[in-house]
Structure 1
Amino acid sequence: MKFFHLKGNTALRNDIILEDTTLRDGEQTPGVAFSVEEKLAIFRALIDAGVRWIEPGIPAMGGDEVRALQLMLDEAPDDVTLIGWNRGVREDVQRSIDLGFSAVHIGLPTSSVHLKNSVRKDRAWLMSTAKDMVKFAKDQGKFVSISAEDIGRTDIEFLQEYAVAVAEAGADRLRLSDTIGILSPQQYRDRVAAVASVTDIDLQAHCHNDFGLGTANVLAALEGGARYFHVTVNGIGERAGMADFAQVVMALRQWHNVDLGIKTEKLTEVARTVSDACRFPTSPWQPVVGTNVFAHESGIHTTGMLRDTSTFEPYSPELVGGERQLLVGKHSGRGVVAHVLEQHELNPENFDLDRILEEARSFAVTHGRALEPGEVVDMGKQFVRAEAL
């Protein structure tokens, strides 16, 4: 079967759906294992933040995983869809259905590399299995999502043929997985658009971050015609992780005016819930939710911020549940020292700001950190001008 390769346009659909996979792909982060209580805490935080599609885990794992999944299924509001992840095996899919999932995902590879080295099958097996799995789940009245894994190394013509086949079998959605994160945004967009040109099946972006392009690739996929996309909180996941929840939400909001129904003021809180469960602190410079995102130390920056906060911030910290900090450290200027004193109801004119700044810079170098506001005040009291005494 031969198809033309078409490029997508930059107009995004008006029915885009975010699906979070922190509890499935995210938990596959090496060294991370959530307890039942931690999975439930993350689950509740996601729902509280407005997430309405969640991939909560893998039923075939059994044990505590199934216990957590059952609790989430019992607790999920009516407007929240939980989708169970499965291998391309009937027993896996049936187990998800028996647990009570109304939506199931079937993971299958499409690249020759994965067919040969992962499942040790050929394309004929893949086509037959995919259609059989879709029919099996659809016959039981379920929403069916199915993968094309490793699309970065899948021939585009075969990817199109596969997409047409699973759509004709009745699949509701095709997940286009850049499994090892090797595609550039343009390459990913072109593949999404090529599939969209031959079938109307809803497409989902699933982008790994091996080259730091996970978020960019999700945005490119949406430009190419995808409707759904995967994210994880803090970008956690296998190897270098996945597209980041907060980053994609804010990029779509700020650049494309897309409202996903997410309460952005909850983003930082959700990030902390997940980092606590991972036992890995969120990087201070993690975009959107890191503690340094709204922290300013440079003299030029703090001067600008004191006049107009938009000078060095693309959006306010309140929008994402963050907190602005004007720090006194090695790179600070007199203006921020004066500001700290004023915040403590002290008149900066009564202090030798140059001496305070000199001392503060020395402290920052010696201790390897910025000063706390109280430390600035205490330091300032050592350099009161004589005429102020």
Structure 2
Amino acid sequence: MIRRDVILEDTTLRDGEQAPGVAFSKATKLKILDKLIATGVKWVEPGIPAMGGEELDTLHAMLERKDEVKLIGWNRGIMEDVAATIDMGFEAIHIGLPTSSIHLKESVGKDRTWLFQRAAELIKYAKDRGVFVSISAEDVGRTEIIFLQEYAIAVSEAGADRLRLSDTIGILSPEEYWRRVEAVAQVSAIDTQCHCHNDFGLAVANTLAGLRAGARYFHVCVNSMGERAGMPDLAQMTLALKHLYGRDLGIRTEHLKELAEMVAQASHQPLPAWQPVVGDNVFAHESGIHVKGMLNDTNTFEPFRPEEVGNVRRYVIGKHSGRATLRSVLEDRGIDVEDDRLARCLTEVRAAAINQGAALSPDQLCDLYKDLSRTAEVVQ
């Protein structure tokens, strides 16, 4: 059972921007933050203070809105980073620390004794300064569960408010991610956060599994952005929780399409037509039997209405169209339709779609039908 107080935290401006080749300017980051707030997102990870330069200026500007949204400052496991982030005015911080042997050895060159000591001292320092403290178990997929439980107990006893369970390289199945969240819950009451990467296309499924296992928080990015294959998509998680699990997060879903397009433009990565929820093809119908059903009842082939997510419904005229589609378009254009002529028009439409390798416009359909009408008049 997914708890009713689950919290969506967006990291488009931190993990999303870490996607190779993406670099947001100050103006862009502020524009995206504004849209996230307008969409109803209440927790945001806006960037990395330790980057310095323009990023610091940007984060200072974002902090002017901290009464409207919970801003989480991301830090390496370094005291100077944590201190500087709190000094900036962040009232919530995250501390990134690895727990797998390979990451401890190869990424930071440390051992488990160092990990426990560093986590404890950073948590104590931050809590003494009165901020919300989130801390990672990075590369949780390659962290032994017994050790993960020991670490969860340790950071909880040190005073951390939240433990982020990061499937850093996206190697877990939903069952295995669920197992790790549940294992932490067995030994500690600390809130957990899902942070799932999409390397096997399972980020959304893993996050839902983690929430079903009792996690309270979860990370998303707009358009599934992020390192390598990205993160769980904000729109997909919002709609899945709302429609499949009955959990309304307070997101203003009518903004989702516009938000997705804004971020796509800013990252120079066009939205795939098949992107769930916000893609152009999600509410596009071509198959004859589908369109016939849709014209009778739009629930026939749509799980939710396009207006709910700021998208639009389209009926496509192409190779797989049926007479119902053609009749609907022609009659909407004020053209009287005859059954025999419509059947011949359908044959012409399919041939034209194959010839041009794409759908026909309504104007092309009307021209085809009118040509058939003129031919019939000449024959008569």
Alignment TM-score, normalising by the size of structure 1: 0.95
- The one of 263, 280, 283 equivalent to 2:252 is 263
Deviation per CA, 1:292-315: give whole Å up to 9, x if none: 000011111111111111111111
Deviation per CA, 1:228-253: give whole Å up to 9, x if none: 00000010111100111111111100
Deviation per CA, 1:50-104: give whole Å up to 9, x if none: 000000000000111111111111134x241000000000111112112111100
Q: Counterpart in 2 of 1:208?
A: 197
In structure 2, runs of 5+ residues without a counterpart are none
Q: Counterpart in 2 of 1:56?
A: 46
Structure 1 residue 378 displacement after superposition = 2.3
1:97 to 1:383, Cα distance in 2 relative to 1, 3 A:
same
Q: Counterpart in 1 of 2:29?
A: 39
Match runs of 1:85-164 below 5 Å: 85-164=74-153
Structure 1 residue 374 displacement after superposition = 2.1
In the alignment, residue 95 of structure 2 is paired with which amino acid?
A: I
1:272 to 1:195, Cα distance in 2 relative to 1, 3 A:
same
Identity of aligned pairs, percent?
Answer: 61
Match runs of 1:238-387 below 5 Å: 238-349=227-338, 352-384=341-373, 386=376
Match runs of 1:2-13 below 5 Å: 11-13=1-3
The answer as to whether partners of 1:59 and 1:96 remain within 8 angstroms in 2 is yes
Q: Counterpart in 2 of 1:174?
A: 163
Q: Counterpart in 2 of 1:65?
A: 55
Structure 1 residue 187 displacement after superposition = 0.5
In the alignment, residue 187 of structure 2 is paired with which amino acid?
A: V
3-state DSSP class of the match of 1:310?
Answer: coil
Displacement over 2 Å in runs of 4+:
385-389
| Cα distance in 2, alignment partners of residues 372 and 219 from structure 1 | 40
Structure 1 residue 342 displacement after superposition = 1.4
Matched residue count? 378
Structure 1 residue 387 displacement after superposition = 6.7
Structure 1 residue 224 displacement after superposition = 0.6
| Bigger shift: residues 294-303 or 121-130 | 294-303
Structure 1 residue 351 displacement after superposition = 7.7
In the alignment, residue 249 of structure 2 is paired with which amino acid?
A: L
In the alignment, residue 330 of structure 2 is paired with which amino acid?
A: L
Structure 1 residue 350 displacement after superposition = 8.1
| Cα distance in 2, alignment partners of residues 305 and 278 from structure 1 | 35
Q: Counterpart in 2 of 1:30?
A: 20
In the alignment, residue 249 of structure 1 is paired with which amino acid?
A: T
| Cα distance in 2, alignment partners of residues 317 and 60 from structure 1 | 41
The answer as to whether partners of 2:173 and 2:202 remain within 8 angstroms in 1 is yes
In the alignment, residue 317 of structure 1 is paired with which amino acid?
A: P
The answer as to whether partners of 1:85 and 1:105 remain within 8 angstroms in 2 is yes
In the alignment, residue 87 of structure 1 is paired with which amino acid?
A: R
Structure 1 residue 212 displacement after superposition = 0.3
The answer as to whether partners of 2:37 and 2:68 remain within 8 angstroms in 1 is no
In structure 1, runs of 5+ residues without a counterpart are 1-10
| Cα distance in 2, alignment partners of residues 378 and 72 from structure 1 | 54
| Cα distance in 1, alignment partners of residues 259 and 345 from structure 2 | 39
In the alignment, residue 88 of structure 1 is paired with which amino acid?
A: G
| Bigger shift: residues 354-363 or 87-96 | 354-363
The answer as to whether partners of 1:351 and 1:380 remain within 8 angstroms in 2 is no
